[in-house]
């Protein structure tokens, strides 16, 4: 949904209420889950994978956990989640509001899965969002943090597969690709700010 003014809370609530009753716009729901994701990505979708080290140690790991659970990776100035306090539970819906110049684009997602591994050589926490009909793209995106005990490093990992859904996303696909890459860079920067040592 495209708006030329910042959407109100009431409009966003009605948008999500309608989207919550609709199915995902792709068949491979949950394909970003687990280690064998590469073989799960459906044909015709573009894969984006971004990894960045956030630092090391328990403090960074805990800060990264907290940031991910509070959707801090989406607080970018030009991109915001709504509502900002959506609990990370499968089935919950969220609107990702992107401002591109004078236009606000509302994108609806549903949390498809949560994964968590503790007390292992590599601990991790992740969740995935899948697109609903009110989204410019179709596909899934996973956000994951990892703590590698072998070297104490903490990593932020974004994995997505997508293709255009809305007609404007198809017509402006080169611009969409630039925005997807910008989102990945800015999301990494947001997580680094959230985990920086005071």
- Domain membership of residue 39 (yes or no) is no
Spell out where 118-152 has E strands: 122-131, 137-148
Range of the domain at 21: 2-32+44-195
- Domain membership of residue 37 (yes or no) is no
For residue 36, what pLDDT is reported? 63
- Domain membership of residue 139 (yes or no) is yes
Write the CATH number for 15. 3.30.530.20
- Domain membership of residue 12 (yes or no) is yes
Average pLDDT of span 36-44:
75
HSE (side-chain half, CA atoms, 13 Å) at 54: 33
Span 102-144, pLDDT tens digits: 999 999 999 999 999 998 999 999 999 999 999 999 999 999 9
Among 35-39, 86-90, 172-176, which is the least confidently predicted range?
A: 35-39
The yes-or-no verdict on residue 40 having pLDDT over 80 is no
Q: Which of 135, 29, 129, 30 is nearest to 89 (CA)?
A: 129
Q: Which of 85, 149, 142, 84 is nearest to 115 (CA)?
A: 142
Paired tokens of 5: 């003014």
- Domain membership of residue 38 (yes or no) is no
CA distance 39 to 37: 5
- Domain membership of residue 96 (yes or no) is yes
The three-point CA angle 134-141-73 to 5° equals 95
Is the separation of the CB atoms in 187 and 80 below 8 Å?
no
- Domain membership of residue 109 (yes or no) is yes
Domains: count for the chain: 1
pLDDT above 70 coverage of the chain, percent: 97
Is the separation of the CB atoms in 106 and 15 below 8 Å?
yes
The yes-or-no verdict on residue 39 having pLDDT over 70 is no
Contacts of 77 (CB under 8 A, 6+ apart): 186
């Amino acid at each position: 949904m495209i708006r030329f003014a910042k959407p109100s809370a009431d409009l966003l609530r009605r948008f999500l209420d309608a989207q919550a009753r609709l199915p995902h716009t792709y068949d491979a729901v949950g394909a970003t889950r687990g280690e064998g994701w590469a073989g799960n990505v459906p044909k015709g979708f573009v894969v984006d994978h971004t990894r960045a080290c956030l630092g090391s140690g328990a403090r960074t790991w805990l800060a990264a956990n907290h940031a991910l659970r509070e959707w801090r990776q989406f607080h970018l100035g030009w991109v915001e989640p709504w509502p900002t306090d959506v609990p990370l539970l499968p089935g919950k819906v969220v609107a990702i509001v992107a401002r591109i110049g004078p236009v606000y684009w509302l994108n609806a997602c549903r949390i498809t899965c949560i994964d968590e591994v503790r007390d292992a050589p590599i601990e991790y926490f992740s969740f995935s969002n899948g697109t609903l009909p009110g989204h410019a793209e179709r596909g899934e995106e996973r956000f994951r943090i990892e703590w590698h005990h072998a070297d104490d490093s903490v990593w932020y990992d974004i994995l997505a597969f997508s293709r255009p859904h809305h007609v404007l996303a198809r017509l402006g696909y080169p611009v969409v690709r630039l925005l997807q890459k910008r989102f990945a860079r800015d999301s990494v920067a947001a997580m680094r700010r959230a985990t920086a040592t005071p």
